[in-house]
Structure 1
Amino acid sequence: MTSEETLPSPKVAFLGPLGTYSHQCAVEHFGDNATYTNYPTLTKVFHAVGDEVDYALIPQENTIFGSVVETYDCLRLPELGENKFIRGEKTIGIQHCLVVRQGVELGDVKKIISHEQALGQCSKFLTENFPDAILEKRPSTAEAAQSLLTPEEGFEGERAAICSAVCATMFEELQLVRKVFKTRNPRLRQALIRIGMTAEAEIPPENASYHRPLHHVISTLFTSFGVPVTRIDRRPSLRPIPFDDVYFIEVEELGTPLEYRNPTASPSSVSEENWLRKVQESVRRVRSAGLDATLIGLW
């Protein structure tokens, strides 16, 4: 490659509109060299990878309100692990802000709107300061802030929104009245494995009791994984069987080197290959125990 040649700009999808925490996280990770496209739902962000964009950034969890359900519903899909793969994560500090239209007093606020994750994170603040306010979910924190600029038909009263600090500066008609919540949670080197019953597993007769595969999963954790398990998440499987679940097992490299604790450090190819072999061996052991296991992320 000559000095005049440059690598193509990556196309990155995130949950929009502009000003969401997903937008902030994407820009912090990919920088100015990327082309960004926002989508109205996490499901559309996920499905955009391949034909429309090179990378998608979707939120997994926050430290107060827990896992993002829509994200884990996407992680159930068989295309993840086949033609889509998780290759990284980024943890950002969350700074929620309460915004209103210019001139609105807090005592006049009758409704507070935001993404359900933000409402959950700020539940203590909202209960203490706005015990009688209506809480309304919106697709994103940025959309909630932007909606304050348009009168709500049929609603008498003032509204406020919980959003990011950067979002609060995007609209001149809004004013920041209170910083509500802030968190940061550093992470180490991880991998994510999806586990469930195999497609050939016998479907129980109608009205027969069905035992979840949890006991199979738990038993394999002590015999099949050669690396520490840091968390387990569960969602209903895609099979049309009541109480049939799929599990997401997150593992961490034992004795994570200090280079991986530094988010600016680049892991060596040898270390990455060794980590991949460890995880693949764990997947092989789970499969040999009679379960379906797929490596869907490694970073």
Structure 2
Amino acid sequence: MAPSTSPRLAYLGPEGTYTHQAAWDRFRDTVHYTPYASIQDTFNSLSSENPFAVIPLENSTYGSVTESYSVLQSRRFEKDAYVRGVTSLAISHCLTVRKGTKMGDIKRVMSHEQALGQCQGFLSRCLPNAELIRTPSTAAAAQALLNDDERPRESAAICSSICSIAFEDLEILQEGVQDDVSNRTRFMILASSASVPLPRSHESDPSAFRGLLRLSAPQGCRDEGLSVLELLTALDLRVMKIDRRAKICASPFHDEYIVEVTKKRADSTNLVNGISKLTWEKEIQGAIDRVRDLGGEVCVLGLW
């Protein structure tokens, strides 16, 4: 349990989701966790009383999370939120049971249909006669398992490992039961401002010196594709990812781009001197000035 003075952190719920797992792996017991039913609700919860949130950004198999990118397009994001980092989680499914259950006791396995499909090989080998029951989410499967008082030793759930922490009566019977070990999801760490101190982290950020920008050509430009290329060139930064979105404006078929950038080259001198963050902020400001000099529109959504 986090101390009563610890800050609140919102996440895409319910309790036991992979977003909850990603947040727990990063912050452990340094925050109070609050689940929300949707990505939009999680984002809307940001305030001085609820200063942090974690939402999924992209999956290595299924690509960008559309609802999260819609949040990044929100004009409210410019004043009420800031991306302060990312965290990556290997999607590792666990066969979870009520305490005391053995593999031979299991007659049914519950989970989201995608998780059941991702564990088909394991289920065929180890539980070939088990009934497969679909649930709205992997966390819902864990909750259903917890509430199954009629046949508590005959059911299992495929879910994240945090469910065994969130629900005291559950335990992991076997970890890593998915067929594909390369499936990962990246999550955004949001804050209510760029200056609020982040909680103590229990893992290092593997992608330091990153920035997230919202970029668009001037409205009414006939050759928008060329203009976007010119603006990307003006950034003069390494572009790691681009997500194209339809811009919310009066002009039809006008796009804007969520662009993830990083430094052009490692600066070991600044790193040794401990002033890398300052030089990175200066690089971003220079990129912003160059884009605006061309008449482009740019907004900094986050730096880390």
TM-score, normalised by the number of residues in structure 2: 0.69
| 2:15 equivalent to 1:18 | yes
Counterpart code for 1:289: L
Contact 1:280 1:295 in 2 (8 A): no
| 2:297 equivalent to 1:287 | no
1:195 to 215, 218, 226: 215
| 2:287 equivalent to 1:278 | no
Shift of the alpha carbon at 1:146?
A: 2.3
Residue-by-residue CA offset, 1:134-178 (whole Å, 9 max, x unaligned): 97754xx32343246679xxxxxx998642123256374787567
Distance 2:246 2:88 in 1: 27
Q: Relative to 1, partners in 2 of residues 1:7 and 1:52: Cα closer, same or farther, differing over 3 Å?
A: closer
Residue segments in structure 2 that go unaligned for 5+ positions in a row: 125-131, 149-153, 187-205
Distance 1:31 1:111 in 2: 27
| 2:21 equivalent to 1:37 | no
Q: Relative to 1, partners in 2 of residues 1:159 and 1:9: Cα closer, same or farther, differing over 3 Å?
A: closer
| 2:81 equivalent to 1:84 | yes
The aligned counterpart of 1:234 is: 244
Of 273-282 and 232-241, more deviation after overlay is shown by: 232-241
| 2:112 equivalent to 1:113 | yes
Shift of the alpha carbon at 1:22?
A: 1.9
Shift of the alpha carbon at 1:240?
A: 5.2
Residue segments in structure 1 that go unaligned for 5+ positions in a row: 1-5, 152-157, 204-210
2:228 to 211, 214, 217: 217
Secondary structure of the structure 1 residue equivalent to 2:33: strand
Shift of the alpha carbon at 1:95?
A: 1.1
Distance 1:257 1:147 in 2: 52
Counterpart code for 2:162: V
2:67 to 66, 70, 83: 70
Residue-by-residue CA offset, 1:104-137 (whole Å, 9 max, x unaligned): 99998798516xxxx38x866559978xx89775
Distance 1:72 1:14 in 2: 16
Counterpart code for 2:61: I
Contact 1:188 1:256 in 2 (8 A): no
Distance 1:35 1:296 in 2: 25
Secondary structure of the structure 1 residue equivalent to 2:42: helix
Shift of the alpha carbon at 1:189?
A: 2.5
- Percent identical pairs in the alignment equals 31
1:248 to 228, 246, 258: 258
Shift of the alpha carbon at 1:71?
A: 0.8
The aligned counterpart of 1:167 is: 163
Distance 1:259 1:31 in 2: 33
1:28 to 25, 28, 35: 25
Contact 1:212 1:243 in 2 (8 A): no
Distance 1:147 1:259 in 2: 55
Secondary structure of the structure 2 residue equivalent to 1:231: strand
- The higher relative CO (CA closer than 8 Å, separation ≥ 6) is in 2
Distance 1:244 1:129 in 2: 48
Distance 2:4 2:169 in 1: 37
Q: Relative to 1, partners in 2 of residues 1:39 and 1:124: Cα closer, same or farther, differing over 3 Å?
A: closer
TM-score, normalised by the number of residues in structure 1: 0.69
Of 89-98 and 54-63, more deviation after overlay is shown by: 89-98
Q: Relative to 1, partners in 2 of residues 1:41 and 1:48: Cα closer, same or farther, differing over 3 Å?
A: same
Q: Relative to 1, partners in 2 of residues 1:279 and 1:98: Cα closer, same or farther, differing over 3 Å?
A: same
User: May I ask how many residue pairs the two structures share in their alignment?
Assistant: 265
Deviant stretches of 4+, over 6 Å: 100-111, 127-130, 133-136
Shift of the alpha carbon at 1:7?
A: 11
Residue-by-residue CA offset, 1:23-77 (whole Å, 9 max, x unaligned): 2222333332322211111111111111540111112123222221111110001
Superposed CA RMSD: 4.1
